Structure 1
């Protein structure tokens, strides 16, 4: 899957979980920009895992602070 396709899915999932517009979400968007707290971030990771049928290792969770970080983690998990 192309990164742009993944970005569209990540934006859709994040918008749904956080109750924001997909238009607010770019690869450079941080989850702080979207007012996501730690529980929101955990819900996001769980939703990404479900959407992409992957498992993101626990040691990567703390490093996911932006959409770009989420995309990197998803790509790495798909390649594993």
Structure 2
């Protein structure tokens, strides 16, 4: 096929699609750790567990879901679902099983290119 025919066959409308060679994202994904930890803390403080309010809990990177917040495994899964919704990501089950603190969760969120 001649280059002229190829150029015509790959052009749709006024745009030549053959020139696209990389994926473009709509926004820059530059979440900083402080912002991520703050947003996770907000999710935790709005999370209601067995009528125990977590609003008065001090949340830092070192906060443990089990020891400091008193969450069991089911509560932690529900909390991580809320965090997924907050950052518009999906945390795979094998990763979620290993997230024990706010800092570990923040690190995962920041490493996910789809986090918003």
TM range (shorter): 0.7 to 0.9
Higher-RCO chain (CA-CA 8 Å, sequence separation at least 6): 1
Q: What is the TM-score with the length of structure 2 in the denominator?
A: 0.62
Aligned to 1:3: 33
Higher alpha-carbon Rg: 2
State the distance in 1 between where 2:33 and 2:56 align. 16
Matched length: 80
Which consecutive segments of 4 or more residues in structure 1 shift more than 4 A? none
Higher strand share: 2
Counterpart secondary structure, 1:36 = coil
From the superposition, tell whether residues 76 and 22 of structure 1 become closer, same or farther in structure 2 (CA, over 3 Å): farther
1:42 shift after superposition: 0.6
Give ranges in structure 2 of 5+ residues lacking alignment.
1-30
Q: What is the TM-score with the length of structure 1 in the denominator?
A: 0.87
Give ranges in structure 1 of 5+ residues lacking alignment.
none
